Structure 1
Amino acid sequence: MPAPDRTDARKPVRRRDVLARARATLDAFEHLAGGLGTTILALVALLLVTATALACLVGVGLLLVPAALRGLRAVADRERARLSRWGPEITGPEPVPTGLRAALADPATRRELGWVVTHATLGLLLSLIGLTLPISAVTNTTFPLWWRLLPPEEAATSAMGLWTVRDLPGALGVSLLGLGWLVLAVLLTPGMARLQAWPGRRLLPADPGGDLALRVAQLTATRAAALDAHAAELRRIERSLHDGTQNRIVAVTIMLGAARRALARDPAGADAVLERAQSAAEEALAELRAVVRSILPPVLTDRSLADALTGLAATCPIPCRIDADIPVRCAASVEATAYFVAAEALTNITRHSNARHAVVKVHRGADRLHLQITDDGHGGADERGGSGLVGIRRRTEAHDGTFMLNSPAGGPTTLTVSLPCGS
């Protein structure tokens, strides 16, 4: 029996490997480009700290110490934010020391000084090398296309002085050198990006004790937000039952009593009263069902969050498009929170934004559920305006999620919510 041909099976694997390597190289190039900005800031901060230290030798630098420490912390926080976008979040210490003696005694400040020195030297060198490799690769690879446009003396030195280019074969040799630069970029750039980020991940995180205290404070705040959201939800349900359903049931009771008394005197009039009582009972039942659905929409249990949002968009007074990519169900509490965030956001859009169109995007990435609601209204949404945005923030933070609102004057308005939903 002939052996199976494994060539076709290897091709997809090799293709995936090539794509993964290319993606890693592009990500590393992006990291080094972003790191170049913080290396320049670190160099400025290092010069400021050095000038302040020299000025302290003659006494006048003591007045500059607070400004230098704030500048150092600002640059370090910029690097923390950059590294947090590409990996685990890095939290900074609080507060900034105010004097020279406090700064020298603060371990976090000493680590930030060490990071500034490393990042302003080694980090700057790695960024320059990492950005030069692909530029050299592109320049040398395309050299045969434009070398004739250069003056003879410039064309002769375009191969980094390795040889003199006088004809097309020499230019093709330069293009081969460009391929070598490309191979070096693919091989070295990911490692250089990791090496550049290593001092920041090693030196910039806060002390474990401070990080734990910050986490406890965050959990305390989210617990209070959860209790407030729960109390607000109970008040909303109580108002809905008291002001709507209860009043209609009382009206049904009064109408039934009037119909009972009218049976002996005016049977025809009693029939009309009974008909009104039946209509009031049906309205009360409809309101009661609406209250029950507002507690937890049955479609979330019977079907999915995408179906629930589709039904929500169908009842929205303005055109609303749902873009959902949720291959796996999340916890019921997370889906309910996402549903109510979308419902409250669409209600705000309908009432306050004068929008003509809205889009709700929801997708699950890794261990988080991301929800984004965008409208083309006049913008200017503010949490302090009493439009329900505070309730959305509290619901989100109660699940240890993140809430972000971008609503410039003139629009558009984008509300972004991210909720943890497990792995």
Structure 2
Amino acid sequence: MTTRQDAPPAGEGAGLKDGVLQTMQRAGAGIAQLTSGLSTGLLALLLVLWVAVTAVTSLVGIGLLMAPSVLRALHALAGRERARLGRWGEEVIAPDPPPTELRAALADPTTRRELRWLVRHATLGLLLGLIGALLPAAAVRDLTFPLYWPLAPEDATATSIGLGTAHSWPDALSVSLLGVSWVLISLGLTPGMARVQARPGRRLLVAGPEVDLSRRVAELTATRAAALDAHAVELRRIERALHDGTQNRIVSVTVLLGAARRMLARDPAGAEELLERAQSAAEQALAELRSVSRSILPPVLDDRGLEGALSALAANCAVPCRIDVDVPQRCAASVEATAYFVVAEALTNIAKHSGASLATVTVRSAGGRLRLRVQDDGRGGADENGGSGLTGMRRRVAAHDGTLSLTSPPGGPTTLQVELPCGS
């Protein structure tokens, strides 16, 4: 099922603006990641040369003395690369400390994988890092060439690639067109180049299956605790709602009915007034009971599915909200309820705290995972510890073994991304 709801004054221009902004953000992140990989790539090249010198001099015995230092440098550089990759994506779990004694290291699978990564990162990774650093420099150089062309020597090379000279203003302006092409290449290729640069490290530097299993056990223990905490918090919320609201209404109904029964014989008009008040209190209690029951599992999810429930949230949101849902099949009821409450809480936060003029909710289902993203163009600076409900959302998501990430730089935009398994 696919639905799209546009709330005025959002239009096609806003969607295009969001797309361009996201493309620029991805390209900027790609360039930053490639540039950070350039530093480890240079170190990897130096270490490859050191390994080669050690291997050659081992024939005369000198290299055997350097071997422990080389192995320690290899493990340290691999750890630095794991930390770098963790800053730009999913954490790369480190294996147990590998040996630094030559004979044990030659038989150690972790050391062999690190050596394979070293060679690849010193070649392909270094090359991609250089390209990632040179592309924005070339773009700036060629785009601004017409500004300083009159001051350049007559025989100076006009372009960043070392070809051609400019003898007129049309020649200088044509160089700026080359700068535009560098910008387009950066926007289109740098995210993929960053993934290619990171792939050997994510594949070769990750810990073995036995460490992954222990980490998985730890994750399941943590998510089980989060699920129990979320369940306890929800029970306390329901108990407070029933105790502070519904129970008081029902007690009031009981008191009013008793007073009306005693007044019925001597003051029928007063008894009728009390009965009207009792009826009003009973209706309020019934409304509060319905509100509590809807907060447990909104009936709109059963009646209209996730797309209808989110459309209803968008219609009632104080900030104009655009909904884009593409979920071909229904997910488990608990997963849909979690997605509903996450979006509801996120839209409430946007309306209260962000000062945004537009919110966008995107939901996709692929590969057995439900992915949703809530973005606004507000002031940003959202803080998970600031009492904005993010901790509760994280607990709900963790209870389903899902993931939640928040990006909210000062000045915006704020992006909340959640991924849930469809069948849990």
TM-score, length of structure 1 as denominator length: 0.65
Q: Are residue 393 (structure 1) and residue 394 (structure 2) matched?
A: yes
The change in CA–CA distance for 1:71 and 1:199 in structure 2 (over 3 A counts) is closer
In 2, are the aligned partners of 1:378 and 1:409 still within 8 Å (CA)?
yes
Farther-moved stretch of structure 1 (314-323 vs 340-349)? 314-323
Output the amino acid matched with 2:294.
R
In 2, are the aligned partners of 1:77 and 1:92 still within 8 Å (CA)?
no
- Say which of 111, 114, 117 aligns to 2:113: 111
The change in CA–CA distance for 1:265 and 1:106 in structure 2 (over 3 A counts) is farther
The change in CA–CA distance for 1:203 and 1:379 in structure 2 (over 3 A counts) is closer
Map of 1:374 onto structure 2: 375
* 1:211-266 alpha-carbon deviations (Å, 9 max, x no partner): 11111111111111111111111111111111111111111111111211221222
In 1, are the aligned partners of 2:81 and 2:201 still within 8 Å (CA)?
no
How far residue 355 of structure 1 moved from its aligned partner, in angstroms, is 3.1
* 1:282-318 alpha-carbon deviations (Å, 9 max, x no partner): 1110110011011111111122101011112223233
How far residue 39 of structure 1 moved from its aligned partner, in angstroms, is 7.3
How far residue 205 of structure 1 moved from its aligned partner, in angstroms, is 3.3
How far residue 383 of structure 1 moved from its aligned partner, in angstroms, is 1.2
Q: 1 CA distance for matches of 2:75 and 2:202? A: 20
1:88-99 alignment, distance < 5 Å: 91-94=92-95
How far residue 381 of structure 1 moved from its aligned partner, in angstroms, is 1.3
Q: Are residue 73 (structure 1) and residue 72 (structure 2) matched?
A: no
1:24-423 alignment, distance < 5 Å: 38=37, 41-48=40-47, 69-76=75-82, 78=84, 91-94=92-95, 100-101=100-101, 104=105, 107-121=109-123, 203-422=204-423
Q: 1 CA distance for matches of 2:41 and 2:389? A: 42
In 1, are the aligned partners of 2:48 and 2:118 still within 8 Å (CA)?
no
2:372 match: secondary structure: strand
Q: 2 CA distance for matches of 1:353 and 1:49? A: 50
Q: How many residues align?
A: 333
2:295 match: secondary structure: helix
Output the amino acid matched with 1:45.
A
Farther-moved stretch of structure 1 (268-277 vs 195-204)? 195-204
Q: 1 CA distance for matches of 2:94 and 2:244? A: 50
1:265 match: secondary structure: coil
Higher alpha-carbon Rg:
1
TM-score, length of structure 2 as denominator length: 0.65
Output the amino acid matched with 2:410.
A
How far residue 72 of structure 1 moved from its aligned partner, in angstroms, is 2.5
Q: 2 CA distance for matches of 1:329 and 1:303? A: 11
In 1, are the aligned partners of 2:85 and 2:91 still within 8 Å (CA)?
no
1:237 match: secondary structure: helix
The change in CA–CA distance for 1:393 and 1:106 in structure 2 (over 3 A counts) is farther
* 1:51-95 alpha-carbon deviations (Å, 9 max, x no partner): 5997x979999899877643322225656898xx8xxx8843246
The change in CA–CA distance for 1:37 and 1:415 in structure 2 (over 3 A counts) is closer
* 1:23-72 alpha-carbon deviations (Å, 9 max, x no partner): xxxxxxxx9xx889857733423414765997x97999989987764332
In 2, are the aligned partners of 1:73 and 1:112 still within 8 Å (CA)?
no
The change in CA–CA distance for 1:110 and 1:306 in structure 2 (over 3 A counts) is same
Q: CA RMSD in A?
A: 4.5
The change in CA–CA distance for 1:212 and 1:347 in structure 2 (over 3 A counts) is same
Output the amino acid matched with 2:395.
R
The change in CA–CA distance for 1:194 and 1:226 in structure 2 (over 3 A counts) is closer
Farther-moved stretch of structure 1 (271-280 vs 405-414)? 405-414
In 2, are the aligned partners of 1:90 and 1:205 still within 8 Å (CA)?
no
The change in CA–CA distance for 1:253 and 1:213 in structure 2 (over 3 A counts) is same
Show structure 2 runs of 5+ residues with no match. 1-29, 55-61, 132-193
In 2, are the aligned partners of 1:405 and 1:414 still within 8 Å (CA)?
yes
The change in CA–CA distance for 1:319 and 1:59 in structure 2 (over 3 A counts) is same
Output the amino acid matched with 2:353.
H
1:384 match: secondary structure: coil
* 1:401-421 alpha-carbon deviations (Å, 9 max, x no partner): 110111122322211111121
Q: 2 CA distance for matches of 1:349 and 1:201? A: 36
2:294 match: secondary structure: helix
Q: 2 CA distance for matches of 1:317 and 1:239? A: 27
Output the amino acid matched with 1:285.
L
In 1, are the aligned partners of 2:37 and 2:129 still within 8 Å (CA)?
no
1:277 match: secondary structure: helix
Output the amino acid matched with 1:392.
M
The change in CA–CA distance for 1:413 and 1:215 in structure 2 (over 3 A counts) is same
Q: 1 CA distance for matches of 2:286 and 2:195? A: 63
1:416 match: secondary structure: strand
In 2, are the aligned partners of 1:260 and 1:270 still within 8 Å (CA)?
yes
The change in CA–CA distance for 1:291 and 1:62 in structure 2 (over 3 A counts) is same
Q: Which has the higher contact order (CA 8 A, sep 6+)?
A: 2
Output the amino acid matched with 1:273.
L
2:264 match: secondary structure: helix
Q: 1 CA distance for matches of 2:237 and 2:302? A: 22
Map of 1:26 onto structure 2: none
How far residue 121 of structure 1 moved from its aligned partner, in angstroms, is 3.6
Output the amino acid matched with 1:410.
G
The change in CA–CA distance for 1:422 and 1:295 in structure 2 (over 3 A counts) is closer
